[in-house]
Amino acid sequence: MRSFSLAAPERRYRKVEAGSQGMQDKINRDRTADRRTGAGDEKDRTVTANADETMPHDNVLIFDTTLRDGEQSPGASMTLDEKLLVAELLDAMGVDVIEAGFPIASNGDFESVREVSKVVKNAVVCGLARAGAKDIERAAEALQPAQRGRIHTFISTSPVHMKHKLQMEPEAVLDAVIASVSLARNLVDNVEWSPEDATRTDHDFLCRCVEAAIKAGATTINIPDTVGYTIPSEYGALIAMLRERVPNIDRAVISTHCHNDLGLAVANSLAGVAAGARQVECTINGIGERAGNAALEEIVMALKVRRDLMPYDTGIDTTMLARASKLVSSVTAFPVQYNKAIVGQNAFAHESGIHQDGMLKNNQTYEIMTPESVGITKSSLVMGKHSGRHAFREKLRELGYDLGQNAMQDAFNRFKDLADKKKHVFDDDIVALVDDEVARGNDRIRVASLRVIAGSEGPQEATLDLVVDGVSEKVTCTGDGPVDATFNAIKAIFPHDARLQLYQVHAVTAGTDAQAEVSVRLEEAGKTVTGRAADTDTLVASARAYVSALNKLLVKREKAAPSAWVASS
Protein backbone atom coordinates (compact mmCIF):
# COMPACT_ATOMS: atom_id res chain seq x y z
CA MET A 1 0.00 0.00 0.00
CA ARG A 2 1.22 3.45 -0.88
CA SER A 3 1.62 5.73 2.10
CA PHE A 4 2.65 9.27 2.92
CA SER A 5 5.83 9.88 4.82
CA LEU A 6 6.40 12.83 7.06
CA ALA A 7 9.65 13.56 5.22
CA ALA A 8 8.14 13.94 1.78
CA PRO A 9 4.64 15.22 2.23
CA GLU A 10 4.15 16.94 -1.13
CA ARG A 11 4.88 14.31 -3.67
CA ARG A 12 1.93 14.81 -5.93
CA TYR A 13 0.01 17.77 -7.15
CA ARG A 14 -3.36 17.77 -8.73
CA LYS A 15 -5.01 20.68 -10.36
CA VAL A 16 -7.56 22.16 -7.99
CA GLU A 17 -10.56 23.24 -9.95
CA ALA A 18 -13.94 22.95 -8.36
CA GLY A 19 -16.14 20.41 -9.99
CA SER A 20 -13.84 19.16 -12.72
CA GLN A 21 -13.05 15.84 -11.15
CA GLY A 22 -14.28 12.56 -12.58
CA MET A 23 -16.33 11.79 -9.50
CA GLN A 24 -18.41 14.88 -10.10
CA ASP A 25 -19.34 13.70 -13.57
CA LYS A 26 -20.37 10.45 -11.96
CA ILE A 27 -22.62 12.27 -9.47
CA ASN A 28 -24.24 14.21 -12.28
CA ARG A 29 -24.89 11.03 -14.18
CA ASP A 30 -26.24 9.29 -11.09
CA ARG A 31 -28.58 12.08 -10.26
CA THR A 32 -29.84 12.40 -13.78
CA ALA A 33 -30.54 8.71 -13.83
CA ASP A 34 -32.05 8.69 -10.35
CA ARG A 35 -34.47 11.49 -11.04
CA ARG A 36 -35.73 9.77 -14.15
CA THR A 37 -35.97 6.20 -13.04
CA GLY A 38 -36.29 6.46 -9.29
CA ALA A 39 -33.43 4.02 -8.86
CA GLY A 40 -29.72 4.40 -8.47
CA ASP A 41 -27.89 1.25 -9.44
CA GLU A 42 -25.12 1.02 -11.99
CA LYS A 43 -27.23 0.01 -14.95
CA ASP A 44 -29.39 3.11 -14.74
CA ARG A 45 -26.49 5.37 -15.53
CA THR A 46 -26.92 4.72 -19.22
CA VAL A 47 -29.81 7.20 -19.28
CA THR A 48 -28.72 10.14 -21.40
CA ALA A 49 -28.57 13.52 -19.77
CA ASN A 50 -30.44 16.26 -21.58
CA ALA A 51 -28.83 19.51 -22.66
CA ASP A 52 -29.81 21.30 -19.48
CA GLU A 53 -28.14 18.79 -17.24
CA THR A 54 -24.90 18.82 -19.19
CA MET A 55 -24.49 22.56 -18.62
CA PRO A 56 -21.32 23.39 -16.70
CA HIS A 57 -23.17 23.42 -13.38
CA ASP A 58 -22.07 21.04 -10.66
CA ASN A 59 -24.37 19.30 -8.30
CA VAL A 60 -23.86 19.51 -4.58
CA LEU A 61 -25.33 16.54 -2.72
CA ILE A 62 -27.38 17.46 0.34
CA PHE A 63 -26.80 15.04 3.22
CA ASP A 64 -29.29 15.70 5.98
CA THR A 65 -28.37 14.60 9.50
CA THR A 66 -31.32 16.11 11.39
CA LEU A 67 -32.30 12.64 12.59
CA ARG A 68 -28.80 11.79 13.85
CA ASP A 69 -26.65 14.84 14.66
CA GLY A 70 -29.78 16.98 15.08
CA GLU A 71 -31.28 14.54 17.51
CA GLN A 72 -28.04 14.76 19.53
CA SER A 73 -28.95 18.37 20.39
CA PRO A 74 -29.27 18.62 24.14
CA GLY A 75 -33.00 18.39 24.82
CA ALA A 76 -34.03 17.26 21.35
CA SER A 77 -35.35 13.80 20.90
CA MET A 78 -37.89 12.40 18.50
CA THR A 79 -40.15 9.41 18.68
CA LEU A 80 -40.15 6.84 15.90
CA ASP A 81 -43.32 8.27 14.36
CA GLU A 82 -41.86 11.75 14.40
CA LYS A 83 -38.66 10.52 12.74
CA LEU A 84 -40.64 8.81 10.01
CA LEU A 85 -42.60 11.96 9.34
CA VAL A 86 -39.39 14.01 9.07
CA ALA A 87 -37.73 11.37 6.87
CA GLU A 88 -40.65 11.29 4.45
CA LEU A 89 -40.64 15.06 4.19
CA LEU A 90 -36.86 15.16 3.58
CA ASP A 91 -37.24 12.50 0.91
CA ALA A 92 -40.06 14.38 -0.81
CA MET A 93 -38.03 17.60 -0.61
CA GLY A 94 -35.19 16.05 -2.63
CA VAL A 95 -32.53 15.45 0.03
CA ASP A 96 -29.88 13.11 -1.45
CA VAL A 97 -28.82 11.30 1.72
CA ILE A 98 -30.75 10.96 5.01
CA GLU A 99 -28.64 9.99 8.01
CA ALA A 100 -31.31 8.27 10.08
CA GLY A 101 -29.45 7.39 13.26
CA PHE A 102 -26.71 5.52 15.03
CA PRO A 103 -28.01 1.92 15.10
CA ILE A 104 -25.70 0.57 17.84
CA ALA A 105 -26.63 3.40 20.26
CA SER A 106 -29.96 1.85 21.33
CA ASN A 107 -32.74 -0.40 20.16
CA GLY A 108 -34.73 2.74 19.48
CA ASP A 109 -32.03 4.07 17.15
CA PHE A 110 -31.78 0.72 15.41
CA GLU A 111 -35.55 0.59 14.90
CA SER A 112 -35.68 4.11 13.54
CA VAL A 113 -32.94 3.48 10.96
CA ARG A 114 -34.73 0.29 9.96
CA GLU A 115 -38.16 1.93 9.68
CA VAL A 116 -36.79 5.00 7.87
CA SER A 117 -35.11 2.57 5.43
CA LYS A 118 -38.53 1.15 4.65
CA VAL A 119 -40.36 4.42 3.96
CA VAL A 120 -37.70 6.39 2.05
CA LYS A 121 -38.19 6.08 -1.69
CA ASN A 122 -35.52 8.19 -3.38
CA ALA A 123 -32.81 9.24 -0.95
CA VAL A 124 -29.89 7.11 0.20
CA VAL A 125 -30.47 6.11 3.84
CA CYS A 126 -27.39 6.26 6.01
CA GLY A 127 -26.54 4.72 9.39
CA LEU A 128 -23.63 5.86 11.56
CA ALA A 129 -21.11 3.41 13.00
CA ARG A 130 -17.88 3.65 14.97
CA ALA A 131 -14.89 1.70 13.72
CA GLY A 132 -15.75 -1.52 15.60
CA ALA A 133 -17.15 -4.55 13.81
CA LYS A 134 -20.27 -4.71 16.03
CA ASP A 135 -21.21 -1.14 15.15
CA ILE A 136 -20.76 -1.72 11.45
CA GLU A 137 -22.65 -5.00 11.38
CA ARG A 138 -25.51 -3.50 13.37
CA ALA A 139 -25.69 -0.56 10.94
CA ALA A 140 -25.79 -2.92 7.96
CA GLU A 141 -28.58 -4.91 9.59
CA ALA A 142 -30.64 -1.77 10.22
CA LEU A 143 -30.15 -0.64 6.62
CA GLN A 144 -31.22 -3.93 5.11
CA PRO A 145 -34.70 -2.77 3.99
CA ALA A 146 -33.27 0.36 2.29
CA GLN A 147 -33.38 0.60 -1.48
CA ARG A 148 -30.05 2.37 -1.24
CA GLY A 149 -28.20 2.12 2.06
CA ARG A 150 -24.95 3.74 3.16
CA ILE A 151 -22.76 2.99 6.18
CA HIS A 152 -21.03 6.05 7.58
CA THR A 153 -18.11 4.94 9.72
CA PHE A 154 -15.68 7.17 11.56
CA ILE A 155 -12.74 7.30 13.93
CA SER A 156 -10.87 10.20 15.50
CA THR A 157 -7.63 11.24 13.85
CA SER A 158 -6.54 14.36 15.77
CA PRO A 159 -3.66 14.03 18.24
CA VAL A 160 -5.79 15.13 21.19
CA HIS A 161 -8.59 12.66 20.38
CA MET A 162 -6.26 9.74 19.60
CA LYS A 163 -4.27 10.24 22.77
CA HIS A 164 -7.00 10.99 25.29
CA LYS A 165 -10.23 9.61 23.88
CA LEU A 166 -9.14 6.54 21.94
CA GLN A 167 -5.80 5.97 23.69
CA MET A 168 -4.49 4.58 20.44
CA GLU A 169 -1.26 5.18 18.49
CA PRO A 170 -1.71 6.73 15.02
CA GLU A 171 -0.62 3.51 13.27
CA ALA A 172 -3.31 1.54 15.13
CA VAL A 173 -5.89 4.17 14.10
CA LEU A 174 -4.80 3.81 10.48
CA ASP A 175 -5.21 0.02 10.72
CA ALA A 176 -8.69 0.56 12.18
CA VAL A 177 -9.60 2.83 9.24
CA ILE A 178 -8.68 0.12 6.74
CA ALA A 179 -10.38 -2.65 8.70
CA SER A 180 -13.59 -0.71 9.33
CA VAL A 181 -14.04 0.57 5.78
CA SER A 182 -13.21 -2.86 4.33
CA LEU A 183 -15.79 -4.53 6.57
CA ALA A 184 -18.44 -1.90 5.78
CA ARG A 185 -17.74 -2.26 2.08
CA ASN A 186 -18.25 -6.00 2.32
CA LEU A 187 -21.72 -5.39 3.74
CA VAL A 188 -22.96 -2.48 1.57
CA ASP A 189 -21.60 -0.91 -1.60
CA ASN A 190 -21.95 2.68 -0.43
CA VAL A 191 -19.53 3.64 2.35
CA GLU A 192 -18.71 7.03 3.81
CA TRP A 193 -15.72 7.51 6.06
CA SER A 194 -15.04 10.41 8.46
CA PRO A 195 -11.88 11.34 10.33
CA GLU A 196 -13.45 12.79 13.45
CA ASP A 197 -11.93 16.14 14.52
CA ALA A 198 -10.38 16.41 11.03
CA THR A 199 -9.79 20.14 11.30
CA ARG A 200 -7.35 19.57 14.18
CA THR A 201 -5.63 16.60 12.52
CA ASP A 202 -2.06 16.61 11.25
CA HIS A 203 -2.24 17.05 7.46
CA ASP A 204 0.14 14.24 6.56
CA PHE A 205 -1.69 11.79 8.77
CA LEU A 206 -5.04 12.98 7.41
CA CYS A 207 -3.83 12.38 3.83
CA ARG A 208 -2.66 8.88 4.71
CA CYS A 209 -5.98 8.00 6.38
CA VAL A 210 -8.08 9.42 3.52
CA GLU A 211 -6.04 7.58 0.90
CA ALA A 212 -6.31 4.34 2.87
CA ALA A 213 -10.08 4.75 3.36
CA ILE A 214 -10.64 5.29 -0.37
CA LYS A 215 -8.42 2.35 -1.21
CA ALA A 216 -10.45 0.20 1.19
CA GLY A 217 -13.63 1.19 -0.63
CA ALA A 218 -15.00 4.45 0.81
CA THR A 219 -16.80 6.45 -1.89
CA THR A 220 -17.46 9.52 0.26
CA ILE A 221 -14.85 11.18 2.43
CA ASN A 222 -16.33 13.52 5.01
CA ILE A 223 -14.14 16.14 6.68
CA PRO A 224 -15.82 17.10 9.97
CA ASP A 225 -15.10 20.27 11.85
CA THR A 226 -16.29 18.39 14.90
CA VAL A 227 -15.57 21.13 17.41
CA GLY A 228 -16.60 24.12 15.26
CA TYR A 229 -13.08 25.55 15.35
CA THR A 230 -12.18 26.30 11.75
CA ILE A 231 -12.74 29.46 9.68
CA PRO A 232 -13.74 29.59 5.99
CA SER A 233 -10.32 30.28 4.44
CA GLU A 234 -8.68 27.57 6.53
CA TYR A 235 -11.39 25.00 5.85
CA GLY A 236 -11.37 25.70 2.10
CA ALA A 237 -7.58 25.30 2.11
CA LEU A 238 -7.91 21.97 3.93
CA ILE A 239 -10.26 20.60 1.25
CA ALA A 240 -7.97 21.94 -1.49
CA MET A 241 -4.97 20.35 0.24
CA LEU A 242 -6.67 16.93 0.22
CA ARG A 243 -7.55 17.31 -3.45
CA GLU A 244 -3.97 18.19 -4.23
CA ARG A 245 -2.19 15.60 -2.21
CA VAL A 246 -4.31 12.46 -1.96
CA PRO A 247 -3.63 10.58 -5.20
CA ASN A 248 -6.90 8.60 -5.36
CA ILE A 249 -9.14 11.45 -4.16
CA ASP A 250 -11.01 11.57 -7.48
CA ARG A 251 -12.54 8.19 -6.61
CA ALA A 252 -14.53 9.74 -3.76
CA VAL A 253 -16.90 12.64 -3.15
CA ILE A 254 -15.55 15.04 -0.55
CA SER A 255 -18.09 16.07 2.06
CA THR A 256 -18.29 18.88 4.63
CA HIS A 257 -19.64 18.56 8.17
CA CYS A 258 -19.28 21.83 10.06
CA HIS A 259 -20.41 22.75 13.54
CA ASN A 260 -21.56 26.19 14.49
CA ASP A 261 -19.65 26.97 17.70
CA LEU A 262 -18.31 30.20 16.20
CA GLY A 263 -21.38 30.81 14.04
CA LEU A 264 -19.38 29.79 10.95
CA ALA A 265 -20.90 26.42 10.04
CA VAL A 266 -22.64 27.59 6.86
CA ALA A 267 -19.74 29.83 5.77
CA ASN A 268 -17.26 27.01 6.32
CA SER A 269 -19.41 24.53 4.39
CA LEU A 270 -19.68 26.91 1.43
CA ALA A 271 -15.90 27.48 1.51
CA GLY A 272 -15.57 23.69 1.35
CA VAL A 273 -17.83 23.59 -1.71
CA ALA A 274 -15.85 26.36 -3.39
CA ALA A 275 -12.71 24.27 -2.84
CA GLY A 276 -14.22 21.14 -4.37
CA ALA A 277 -16.42 19.43 -1.79
CA ARG A 278 -19.58 18.09 -3.44
CA GLN A 279 -21.59 16.90 -0.47
CA VAL A 280 -22.71 19.11 2.42
CA GLU A 281 -23.87 17.62 5.70
CA CYS A 282 -26.45 19.79 7.37
CA THR A 283 -29.65 19.82 9.44
CA ILE A 284 -33.02 21.54 9.28
CA ASN A 285 -32.92 24.71 11.41
CA GLY A 286 -29.22 24.02 12.03
CA ILE A 287 -29.93 21.85 15.06
CA GLY A 288 -27.14 19.59 16.31
CA GLU A 289 -24.59 19.03 19.07
CA ARG A 290 -23.92 22.18 21.14
CA ALA A 291 -24.38 25.28 18.94
CA GLY A 292 -25.61 23.04 16.12
CA ASN A 293 -24.73 22.12 12.58
CA ALA A 294 -24.85 23.94 9.24
CA ALA A 295 -28.47 24.87 8.48
CA LEU A 296 -29.77 23.06 5.40
CA GLU A 297 -32.11 25.89 4.41
CA GLU A 298 -29.27 28.44 4.54
CA ILE A 299 -26.88 26.29 2.48
CA VAL A 300 -29.52 25.58 -0.16
CA MET A 301 -30.77 29.17 -0.46
CA ALA A 302 -27.26 30.66 -0.47
CA LEU A 303 -26.41 28.38 -3.41
CA LYS A 304 -29.66 29.27 -5.15
CA VAL A 305 -29.65 33.03 -4.59
CA ARG A 306 -25.94 33.46 -5.37
CA ARG A 307 -25.76 31.03 -8.24
CA ASP A 308 -23.87 33.75 -10.11
CA LEU A 309 -20.90 33.20 -7.79
CA MET A 310 -21.55 29.62 -6.70
CA PRO A 311 -22.82 27.75 -9.78
CA TYR A 312 -23.84 24.56 -8.00
CA ASP A 313 -27.24 22.90 -8.09
CA THR A 314 -28.96 20.97 -5.36
CA GLY A 315 -31.96 18.73 -5.87
CA ILE A 316 -33.94 20.49 -3.14
CA ASP A 317 -37.48 21.76 -3.72
CA THR A 318 -36.98 25.03 -1.84
CA THR A 319 -40.70 25.69 -1.50
CA MET A 320 -40.75 22.91 1.12
CA LEU A 321 -38.13 24.55 3.37
CA ALA A 322 -40.59 26.44 5.60
CA ARG A 323 -42.67 23.34 6.12
CA ALA A 324 -39.58 21.27 7.02
CA SER A 325 -38.48 23.94 9.47
CA LYS A 326 -41.87 23.97 11.18
CA LEU A 327 -42.08 20.21 11.39
CA VAL A 328 -38.60 19.81 12.89
CA SER A 329 -39.21 22.67 15.30
CA SER A 330 -42.43 21.08 16.37
CA VAL A 331 -41.24 17.49 16.84
CA THR A 332 -38.06 18.52 18.67
CA ALA A 333 -39.88 21.32 20.54
CA PHE A 334 -37.01 23.63 19.60
CA PRO A 335 -38.42 27.04 18.70
CA VAL A 336 -36.93 28.80 15.66
CA GLN A 337 -35.47 32.16 16.58
CA TYR A 338 -37.48 35.06 15.12
CA ASN A 339 -34.56 36.47 13.15
CA LYS A 340 -33.33 33.08 11.85
CA ALA A 341 -32.23 33.34 8.20
CA ILE A 342 -34.66 31.92 5.61
CA VAL A 343 -37.25 30.41 7.97
CA GLY A 344 -37.49 32.78 10.96
CA GLN A 345 -40.78 34.54 11.60
CA ASN A 346 -39.12 37.89 10.79
CA ALA A 347 -37.03 36.69 7.84
CA PHE A 348 -39.33 38.47 5.38
CA ALA A 349 -40.87 41.11 7.64
CA HIS A 350 -40.22 44.75 6.81
CA GLU A 351 -40.66 47.11 9.73
CA SER A 352 -39.17 50.48 8.85
CA GLY A 353 -41.31 52.89 6.83
CA ILE A 354 -38.59 53.40 4.23
CA HIS A 355 -38.32 49.66 3.63
CA GLN A 356 -42.09 49.21 3.49
CA ASP A 357 -42.39 52.05 1.01
CA GLY A 358 -39.68 50.51 -1.18
CA MET A 359 -41.31 47.10 -1.03
CA LEU A 360 -44.65 48.50 -2.13
CA LYS A 361 -43.00 50.09 -5.18
CA ASN A 362 -40.91 47.05 -6.09
CA ASN A 363 -40.13 44.07 -3.88
CA GLN A 364 -36.62 43.77 -5.27
CA THR A 365 -35.70 46.94 -3.37
CA TYR A 366 -35.25 45.04 -0.13
CA GLU A 367 -35.85 41.39 -0.96
CA ILE A 368 -33.15 39.08 -2.35
CA MET A 369 -35.56 36.15 -2.55
CA THR A 370 -39.31 35.87 -2.25
CA PRO A 371 -41.07 34.30 0.76
CA GLU A 372 -42.89 32.03 -1.69
CA SER A 373 -39.56 30.62 -2.93
CA VAL A 374 -38.99 29.08 0.52
CA GLY A 375 -42.60 28.10 1.00
CA ILE A 376 -43.76 30.93 3.25
CA THR A 377 -47.31 31.94 2.47
CA LYS A 378 -49.49 34.42 4.29
CA SER A 379 -51.36 32.70 7.10
CA SER A 380 -54.76 32.50 5.49
CA LEU A 381 -58.18 32.09 6.99
CA VAL A 382 -59.01 28.59 6.00
CA MET A 383 -61.95 26.97 7.60
CA GLY A 384 -64.55 27.01 10.27
CA LYS A 385 -66.77 24.44 11.87
CA HIS A 386 -68.81 23.88 8.72
CA SER A 387 -65.84 22.76 6.67
CA GLY A 388 -66.12 19.15 5.64
CA ARG A 389 -63.76 16.24 5.60
CA HIS A 390 -62.94 16.66 1.92
CA ALA A 391 -61.93 20.31 2.32
CA PHE A 392 -59.87 19.38 5.36
CA ARG A 393 -58.05 16.64 3.47
CA GLU A 394 -57.33 19.04 0.60
CA LYS A 395 -55.96 21.61 3.06
CA LEU A 396 -53.71 19.00 4.64
CA ARG A 397 -52.35 18.08 1.23
CA GLU A 398 -51.67 21.72 0.46
CA LEU A 399 -49.78 22.00 3.76
CA GLY A 400 -47.65 19.00 2.84
CA TYR A 401 -49.29 16.24 4.89
CA ASP A 402 -50.26 12.86 3.56
CA LEU A 403 -51.94 11.11 6.47
CA GLY A 404 -53.20 7.56 6.63
CA GLN A 405 -56.92 6.90 7.12
CA ASN A 406 -56.82 6.65 10.94
CA ALA A 407 -54.49 9.61 11.46
CA MET A 408 -56.64 11.60 9.06
CA GLN A 409 -59.81 10.79 11.02
CA ASP A 410 -58.14 11.67 14.35
CA ALA A 411 -56.86 14.94 12.94
CA PHE A 412 -60.30 15.75 11.52
CA ASN A 413 -61.97 15.11 14.88
CA ARG A 414 -59.53 17.43 16.59
CA PHE A 415 -60.06 20.03 13.91
CA LYS A 416 -63.82 19.90 14.58
CA ASP A 417 -63.20 20.31 18.32
CA LEU A 418 -60.92 23.24 17.62
CA ALA A 419 -63.40 24.87 15.24
CA ASP A 420 -66.03 24.70 17.99
CA LYS A 421 -63.78 26.61 20.38
CA LYS A 422 -62.13 28.98 17.95
CA LYS A 423 -63.93 31.04 15.31
CA HIS A 424 -61.08 31.36 12.82
CA VAL A 425 -58.92 28.37 12.06
CA PHE A 426 -55.67 29.33 10.29
CA ASP A 427 -53.08 27.26 8.45
CA ASP A 428 -50.77 27.49 11.46
CA ASP A 429 -53.53 26.10 13.68
CA ILE A 430 -53.88 23.08 11.45
CA VAL A 431 -50.12 22.53 11.32
CA ALA A 432 -49.96 22.71 15.15
CA LEU A 433 -52.92 20.37 15.48
CA VAL A 434 -51.61 17.71 13.11
CA ASP A 435 -48.04 17.82 14.43
CA ASP A 436 -49.46 17.54 17.92
CA GLU A 437 -51.52 14.51 16.83
CA VAL A 438 -48.46 12.80 15.33
CA ALA A 439 -46.44 13.45 18.50
CA ARG A 440 -48.99 11.41 20.48
CA GLY A 441 -48.16 8.22 18.46
CA ASN A 442 -47.21 5.34 20.73
CA ASP A 443 -47.17 7.13 24.07
CA ARG A 444 -47.28 5.07 27.26
CA ILE A 445 -48.79 7.91 29.26
CA ARG A 446 -51.79 9.97 28.11
CA VAL A 447 -53.83 12.78 29.57
CA ALA A 448 -57.50 11.73 29.71
CA SER A 449 -58.96 14.80 31.41
CA LEU A 450 -58.00 17.83 33.48
CA ARG A 451 -59.96 20.27 35.62
CA VAL A 452 -58.17 23.15 37.28
CA ILE A 453 -59.23 25.75 39.84
CA ALA A 454 -57.22 28.95 39.43
CA GLY A 455 -57.51 32.53 40.62
CA SER A 456 -56.25 34.94 43.26
CA GLU A 457 -57.73 32.92 46.15
CA GLY A 458 -55.45 29.91 46.60
CA PRO A 459 -54.71 27.13 46.88
CA GLN A 460 -54.93 26.36 43.18
CA GLU A 461 -56.05 22.83 42.54
CA ALA A 462 -55.82 20.36 39.66
CA THR A 463 -57.86 17.18 39.20
CA LEU A 464 -56.15 15.00 36.63
CA ASP A 465 -57.06 11.72 34.98
CA LEU A 466 -53.98 10.05 33.52
CA VAL A 467 -53.84 6.77 31.58
CA VAL A 468 -50.57 4.87 32.13
CA ASP A 469 -50.07 1.71 30.05
CA GLY A 470 -53.83 1.51 29.53
CA VAL A 471 -54.73 1.94 33.22
CA SER A 472 -56.59 5.09 34.23
CA GLU A 473 -55.90 6.86 37.54
CA LYS A 474 -57.32 10.10 38.95
CA VAL A 475 -55.88 12.43 41.62
CA THR A 476 -56.42 15.94 42.94
CA CYS A 477 -53.37 18.00 43.92
CA THR A 478 -52.75 21.55 45.01
CA GLY A 479 -49.81 23.72 44.05
CA ASP A 480 -48.25 27.13 43.87
CA GLY A 481 -50.38 28.22 40.92
CA PRO A 482 -52.41 26.16 38.44
CA VAL A 483 -49.43 24.93 36.38
CA ASP A 484 -47.64 23.74 39.52
CA ALA A 485 -50.79 21.99 40.73
CA THR A 486 -51.14 20.25 37.35
CA PHE A 487 -47.53 19.08 37.32
CA ASN A 488 -47.84 17.87 40.93
CA ALA A 489 -50.81 15.75 39.89
CA ILE A 490 -48.74 14.16 37.09
CA LYS A 491 -45.97 13.40 39.59
CA ALA A 492 -48.45 11.87 42.04
CA ILE A 493 -49.71 9.40 39.43
CA PHE A 494 -46.39 8.74 37.70
CA PRO A 495 -43.59 9.31 40.25
CA HIS A 496 -40.22 10.30 38.73
CA ASP A 497 -37.05 12.22 39.57
CA ALA A 498 -36.80 14.31 36.41
CA ARG A 499 -36.23 18.01 36.97
CA LEU A 500 -38.23 20.67 35.13
CA GLN A 501 -35.68 22.77 33.21
CA LEU A 502 -37.89 24.87 31.00
CA TYR A 503 -41.54 25.78 30.71
CA GLN A 504 -42.47 27.97 27.78
CA VAL A 505 -45.76 29.11 26.26
CA HIS A 506 -46.41 30.82 22.98
CA ALA A 507 -49.49 31.55 20.94
CA VAL A 508 -49.82 29.78 17.58
CA THR A 509 -51.76 32.67 16.05
CA ALA A 510 -53.05 36.07 17.20
CA GLY A 511 -56.16 36.53 19.36
CA THR A 512 -57.21 35.48 22.86
CA ASP A 513 -58.79 32.30 21.50
CA ALA A 514 -55.48 31.28 19.90
CA GLN A 515 -54.05 27.85 20.60
CA ALA A 516 -51.28 27.84 23.17
CA GLU A 517 -48.19 25.88 22.24
CA VAL A 518 -46.36 24.76 25.37
CA SER A 519 -42.81 23.35 25.57
CA VAL A 520 -41.60 21.50 28.65
CA ARG A 521 -38.00 20.36 29.08
CA LEU A 522 -37.13 17.69 31.63
CA GLU A 523 -33.72 16.52 32.80
CA GLU A 524 -32.93 13.16 34.38
CA ALA A 525 -29.41 11.82 35.03
CA GLY A 526 -27.85 14.13 32.45
CA LYS A 527 -30.40 13.34 29.73
CA THR A 528 -32.73 16.09 28.59
CA VAL A 529 -35.93 15.82 26.60
CA THR A 530 -38.47 18.35 25.44
CA GLY A 531 -42.18 17.76 25.07
CA ARG A 532 -44.61 19.98 23.23
CA ALA A 533 -48.36 20.23 22.92
CA ALA A 534 -50.94 22.64 21.56
CA ASP A 535 -54.44 23.37 22.80
CA THR A 536 -56.77 26.35 23.14
CA ASP A 537 -56.55 25.76 26.90
CA THR A 538 -53.06 26.67 28.13
CA LEU A 539 -53.28 24.34 31.14
CA VAL A 540 -54.38 21.34 29.08
CA ALA A 541 -51.50 22.08 26.67
CA SER A 542 -49.16 22.31 29.70
CA ALA A 543 -50.22 18.94 31.07
CA ARG A 544 -49.91 17.30 27.67
CA ALA A 545 -46.51 18.88 26.99
CA TYR A 546 -45.21 17.61 30.35
CA VAL A 547 -46.56 14.13 29.65
CA SER A 548 -45.06 14.21 26.16
CA ALA A 549 -41.65 14.98 27.68
CA LEU A 550 -42.09 12.10 30.14
CA ASN A 551 -42.90 9.72 27.27
CA LYS A 552 -39.74 10.81 25.48
CA LEU A 553 -37.72 10.33 28.64
CA LEU A 554 -38.93 6.73 28.88
CA VAL A 555 -37.64 6.14 25.34
CA LYS A 556 -34.35 7.87 26.05
CA ARG A 557 -33.65 5.92 29.25
CA GLU A 558 -32.76 2.85 27.20
CA LYS A 559 -30.09 4.66 25.14
CA ALA A 560 -26.60 3.32 25.82
CA ALA A 561 -24.31 5.37 28.01
CA PRO A 562 -21.56 7.15 26.04
CA SER A 563 -18.26 5.31 25.90
CA ALA A 564 -14.85 6.39 24.64
CA TRP A 565 -15.84 5.06 21.26
CA VAL A 566 -18.91 7.20 20.98
CA ALA A 567 -18.23 10.31 19.05
CA SER A 568 -19.96 13.49 18.24
CA SER A 569 -18.65 13.51 14.65
Interface residues with Zn ion (CB under 5 A) are 69
One DSSP character per residue, 400-422 reads T----HHHHHHHHHHHHHHHHH-
Minimal distance, residue 147 CB to Zn ion, in Å? 26
Minimal distance, residue 88 CB to Zn ion, in Å? 23
Residues 300, 62: contact at Cβ < 8 Å?
yes
Comparison of 196 and 535: residue with beta carbon closer to Zn ion: 196
List, in sequence order, every residue forming a beta bridge with 528; answer none if it has no partner: 523
Minimal distance, residue 477 CB to Zn ion, in Å? 42
Angle (CA) 315-318-324 rounded to 5° is: 105
Minimal distance, residue 225 CB to Zn ion, in Å? 9
Q: How far apart are CA 350 and CA 363, in angstroms?
A: 11
Type of residue at 183: L
- Spatial neighbors of 428 by CB under 8 A, at least 6 apart, are 379, 508, 509
| DSSP E strand stretches across 186-311 | 191-196, 220-225, 253-258, 279-282
Q: How far apart are CA 135 and CA 176, in angstroms?
A: 13
Residues 191, 185: contact at Cβ < 8 Å?
yes
Minimal distance, residue 257 CB to Zn ion, in Å? 6
Minimal distance, residue 283 CB to Zn ion, in Å? 9
- Spatial neighbors of 515 by CB under 8 A, at least 6 apart, are 418, 422, 429, 432, 433, 507, 508, 509, 534, 535, 536, 541
- Residue 463's alpha-carbon distances to 363, 449, 466, in angstroms, are 54, 8, 10
Minimal distance, residue 478 CB to Zn ion, in Å? 46
CA 565 to chain centre: 23
Residues 466, 472: contact at Cβ < 8 Å?
yes
Comparison of 58 and 69: residue with beta carbon closer to Zn ion: 69
Phi, psi of 301 (to 5 degrees): -75, -30
List, in sequence order, every residue forming a beta bridge with 152; answer none if it has no partner: 128, 192
Minimal distance, residue 92 CB to Zn ion, in Å? 24
Type of residue at 284: I
| Residue nearest Zn ion, Cβ-based | 69
| DSSP E strand stretches across 336-488 | 381-383, 425-426, 445-453, 460-468, 471-479
Minimal distance, residue 289 CB to Zn ion, in Å? 5
Neighbours of 81 (CB within 10 A): 19
Q: How far apart are CA 27 and CA 134, in angstroms?
A: 31
Minimal distance, residue 9 CB to Zn ion, in Å? 28
Q: How far apart are CA 305 and CA 459, in angstroms?
A: 58
Minimal distance, residue 264 CB to Zn ion, in Å? 14
Neighbours of 269 (CB within 10 A): 29
Minimal distance, residue 69 CB to Zn ion, in Å? 4
Neighbours of 292 (CB within 10 A): 22
- Spatial neighbors of 386 by CB under 8 A, at least 6 apart, are none
